Amino acid sequence: MSRTILLIEDNEQNRYLATFLLERHGYKVVSAPDGPSGIELARTLMPDLILLDIQLPLMDGYAVARSLRGIELLRNTPMIAVTSYAMVGDREKSLASGCNGYIEKPINPETFVNEIERFLPVPASRQGTP
């Protein structure tokens, strides 16, 4: 069964690129253009991982991260912030709001999927194989 990644991102080009790269590696990608719809999708979808843009309309990514972490069933879901803010303290703010990691934009097609996979638990079917 392919694993599902929820992508919360308002920029269409970034959504397109991230979805393209992840689907090419066999992931199912579901996306939302803002925090409230992303939170709603996360509740119903129970994704294996959430990619979260920080600059979003309606709610910023930090607020979205805190809301998602408040949902019992999503407490342990890996969540990665994706942001173009290259500001000091941004990583700390992402982590403090509940994200497990942080990827900087622009998305690097060479490394993007690898960076994300560091946060995905190894599937049970692959555990223990040499």
**Binding residues for Mn ion (CB under 5 A):** 10-11, 53, 55
> Contact 61/55 with Cβ under 8 angstroms?
yes
Min separation Cβ 11 and Mn ion, Å: 5
- Shortest Cβ contact with Mn ion: which residue? 55
Residue 73 vs 86, nearer CB to Mn ion: 86
d(CA 99, CA 95): 5
1 closest CA partner among 111, 123, 128, 127: 123
Min separation Cβ 124 and Mn ion, Å: 34
- Alpha helical stretches, state H, 35-101: 35-45, 61-69, 90-96
Residue 3 vs 36, nearer CB to Mn ion: 36
Min separation Cβ 112 and Mn ion, Å: 16
Residue 76 vs 108, nearer CB to Mn ion: 108
d(CA 51, CA 75): 15
Residue 11 vs 100, nearer CB to Mn ion: 11
